[in-house]
Amino acid sequence: MIESVPPATVEAMTSPTGGTALDILRSVFGYDEFRGDQAAIVDHVARGGDAVVLMPTGGGKSLCYQIPTLMREGTGVVVSPLIALMHDQVQALHAVGVRAAYLNSTQTLDERREVERAYVSGELDILYVAPERLSVESTRSLLDRGTIALFAIDEAHCVSQWGHDFRPDYLALSELAERWPDVPRIALTATATEATHREITERLSLGRAEHFVASFDRPNIQYRIVPKRSVRDQLVEFIRAEGADSAGIVYALSRKTVERTAEHLTQHGIPALPYHAGLDAATRAATQSRFLREEGLVVVATIAFGMGIDKPDVRFVAHIDLPKSVEGYYQETGRAGRDGEPSVAWLAYGLQDVVQQRRMIDDSDADIAHKRRAAAHLDAMLALCETVQCRRVNLLRYFGQTSEPCGNCDTCLEPPAVVDGTVAAQKLLSTVVRLDRERGQRFGAGHLIDILRGKQTPRTTQHGHDALSTWGIGADLSEQAWRGIVRQLLAQGLLASRGEYGVLGITQASGDVLRGERTVQLRQESERTPRVRKTKSSALSELDPASVELFERLRSWRAEQAREQGVPAYVVFSDATLRGIATSKPNTSAELSGVSGVGAAKLERFGAAVLEVVRDHAVRGA
Ligand code: ADP
Ligand code: ZN
């Protein structure tokens, strides 16, 4: 295992420098063509230009600085806050024959010295550096002793004010421009909002940069949002339907929910581990490392599990609590399917989520402006949940991008029936008005629904609510259906939820409904659990039956390789590459090198073994 590039390793690898961008893409990385803006970005930076790159997760940002680095003289310095990842990133580069190393706080003095020596002697193509290292003079003067090919500033949104722990170190990066005015700089992020874009440009002094803004669509992710019933069972059902042994992340808001859910999954035969800030650092690191290396492990986590999850083959991201904002939701779901393979983003949410989050906003000590912002974020999230239109259109519009209905989200695949809910809304709102008259009383949604359905409870009797004129007028609908209606009215601003107990009140707009001046459209929710559909084409179903077995054999071969070398499976070959091999069944080294993802270094290292697996499979027959 190569940690900090011992001298022998550095010398053993030859730099692939020299050659056109396309040559390098093909020979080093084994890919046929650039994607999207990659070619333009590589060309611009290789010529010495600055660039700001906004590209969604999985879009292929790494090549945008790796290839220009290999085309220019010297070492590319990559600033990344994700220390836990540097090791894997460096290994992935070694696997394709690029001379890479990193400098961060996890190294011993000796290891660091060796990396510094290699850098100064020009033996490194790429050097990863933690941001806090770059703000100290000793690192800067070290960099002066070698040749810097370019600076790449990854996760550049860390400079933004909503950002991160790393913000001060990132702000200091603006000094790079003064100290090394001739070295091109490329800032990259997957955060799409215009405000962040502007801040990156200003704060990193990228006034002369060219801007490359990719579409933020992630077409391989299928978005699904379902009403919450018995969420842990729904989750088990969802995971089973998506195919066992897929890696996935389940997000929940509280530590307690995280713990309980991980336990529930494990009890139901789904390997799962909890992850939250209350666990000690060693446990968290071990969980993260297992998640990156193993296949088919589910991590149930609070949002503390996020930055640094660079695993390309996460097949699903599930939310069992409502995220606080669309930005957060999009970033979290974006961790699915970085490899471009079909993946699912699944969210279950219910009335309780809405009530609870409104309460959290009301109760927080934040100032008014902050509360307003939080409320606006929640409203946007609710609008996404309740939309009867394409989820993706809604999401992309939020980021200022227009699009057509996608055909790969739940509302596109199974358009919900829209019903006229005016009468139901009137029944509900007039009950709210009547209860509102009983000042000082606190009645939440549950009590309201009991009245509508005419369900006797100690509370309804105690308050004499069975005498209300609206008693029992909603008996035609189930409790579940009424909960859905309350939720949608909240989302449409026709109901307000206030205070500690989620007391429901009317809004200005409710008056129009009560007076019959406004109609209400509702999304009809089926009472049964909706049919869970498999992702349109899982990795396996795209293969013809004859190739499936070979694919599985290649997978076990890969697992063995990865174990032996102590690297994640994808560092050996990606799923897409294994599928390419399983389909084309190459007989020769030349044929194998034609498969996407097989570059010169991997061909030399693994070629014979892979051809052996293919041959063996052919001989023994499928
Ligand atoms: P990002 O950093 O934008 O999330 P990565 O750089 O990790 O994305 O790339 C995502 C995946 O796509 C990786 O597995 C990468 O090897 C692959 N990839 C990137 N560019 C290409 C390309 N031009 N052709 C094929 N695969 C690519
Ligand atoms: Zn859609």
We report the CATH number of the domain holding residue 595 as: 1.10.150.80
Query: Is residue 377 in some structural domain?
Result: no
Q: How far is the CA of 401 from the centre of ligand 2 (A)?
A: 14
Q: Using the mean position of ligand 1's atoms as its centre, give its distance from the Cα of residue 151 in Å.
A: 19
pLDDT at 514 (0 to 100): 92
Task: Determine which of 184-193, 306-315, 497-506 has the lowest per-residue pLDDT on average.
Answer: 497-506
* CA dist., res. 525 & res. 515, Å (int): 26
Q: Which residues contact 207 (CB under 8 A, 6 or more apart)?
A: 201
Query: Looking at the chain, how many residues does it have?
Result: 622
Domain of residue 255, CATH code: 3.40.50.300
Q: Which of 213, 233, 263 is the last residue of a domain?
A: 213
Please give the distance, rounded to the nearest whole angstrom, from the Cα atom of residue 532 to the centre of ligand 1. 30
Q: Does residue 523 carry a pLDDT above 50?
A: yes
64 and 208 within one domain: yes
Same domain, 162 and 53: yes
| Residues 461 and 610 grouped into a single domain | no
Q: How many domains does the chain have?
A: 4
Which of 192, 213, 234 delimits the end of a domain? 213
452 and 558 assigned to the same domain: no
Q: Which ligand is nearest to the CA of 65?
A: 1
Based on the fold, state whether residues 194 and 231 are members of the same structural domain: no
Q: 412 lies in a domain?
A: no
**Is residue 206 domain-shared with residue 225, that is, in the same domain?**
no
Q: Residue 383: inside a domain, yes or no?
A: no
The CA distance from 355 to 321, in Å, is 12
Per-residue pLDDT for 349 more than 50? Answer: yes
**pLDDT for 621:** 65
The 3-state DSSP class for residue 298 equals strand
Residue 597 contacts residue 31 (beta carbons within 8 Å): yes
127 and 157: one domain?
Answer: yes
On whether the pTM is more than 0.95, the answer is no
pLDDT in tens, 419-456: 999 999 999 999 998 887 776 667 788 899 999 999 99
Residue 614 lies in a domain: yes
CB atoms within 10 A of CB 113: 12
Ligand 2 center from residue 404 Cα (angstroms): 8
Same domain, 493 and 547: no
CA–CA dist 53, 41 (Å, integer): 8
Confidence band for 88, pLDDT divided at 50, 70 and 90? confident
- ∠ CA 167-172-174, nearest 5°, is 115
Of all ligands present, the nearest one to the C-alpha of 596 is 1
- CB burial readout 182-217, b (16+ within 10 A) else e: ebbbbbbbbbbbeebbebbbebbbbeebeebebbbb
Name the token pair of 83. Answer: 């220390």
Q: By residue range, what is the domain housing residue 592?
A: 539-620
pLDDT digits (tens, 9 = 90+) for 225-242: 999 999 999 999 999 988
Separation of alpha carbons 29 and 13, rounded Å = 15
In a domain, 1, yes or no: no
Minimum CA distance residue for ligand 1 atom 14? 339
Residue 530 lies in a domain: no
Domain boundary among 523, 550, 571: 523
Asked if the structure places residue 380 within a domain, the reply is no
Same domain, 200 and 238: no
- Which region holds residue 496: left if phi is over 0, alpha if psi is between -120 and 50, else beta? beta
The percent of residues above 90 in pLDDT, for the chain, comes to: 56
Contacts with 57 (C-beta within 8 Å, 6 or more apart), sequence order: 190, 218, 331, 334, 335, 338
Q: Is 66 helix (H, G, I), strand (E, B) or coil?
A: helix
Q: What is the average pLDDT across 498-514? A: 81
- Look at residue 9 and tell me whether its pLDDT is greater than 80: no
Tokens representing 410? 């739940």
Q: Are the beta carbons of 347 and 226 closer than 8 angstroms?
A: yes
In the chain, the largest separation of any two C-alpha atoms, in whole Å, equals 89
Domain of residue 464, CATH code: 1.10.10.10
- Which ligand is located closest to the Cα atom of residue 30? 1
Same domain, 592 and 609: yes
Least confident of 279-283, 492-496, 600-604: 492-496
- Whether 193 and 260 share a structural domain: no
pLDDT the model gives residue 135: 86
Pocket of ligand 1 (CB under 6 A): 31, 34-35, 38, 55, 57-63, 312, 338-339, 574
Q: What is the mean pLDDT of residues 459-463?
A: 87
pLDDT at 4 over 70: no
- Summarised one tens digit per residue, pLDDT across range 104-134 is 888 999 999 999 999 999 999 999 999 989 9
* Position in ligand 1 atom list of the atom nearest CA 25: 23
Residues 487 and 438 in one domain: yes
Atom of ligand 1 at shortest distance to CA of 59? 3
Please indicate, yes or no, if residue 364 is contained in any of the structural domains: no
